[in-house]
Amino acid sequence: MPAKFVKFEMPKDLVESVYEAVELARDTGKIRKGANEVTKVVE
Say which residue, 40 or 9, is predicted with more confidence.
Answer: 9
DSSP 8: S
Distance CA 9, CA 7 (A): 7
Looking at residue 6, what is its pLDDT?
74
Looking at residue 15, what is its pLDDT?
87
pTM (two decimals): 0.47
Looking at residue 33, what is its pLDDT?
65
CA dihedral 6, 7, 8, 12 (to 10 degrees): 10
DSSP 6: -
Q: Note the pLDDT tens digit of each residue in 9-30.
A: 888 888 898 888 888 888 887 7
Burial 19-30 (b: 16+ CB within 10 A, else e): eeeeeeeeeeee
Distance CA 7, CA 3 (A): 9
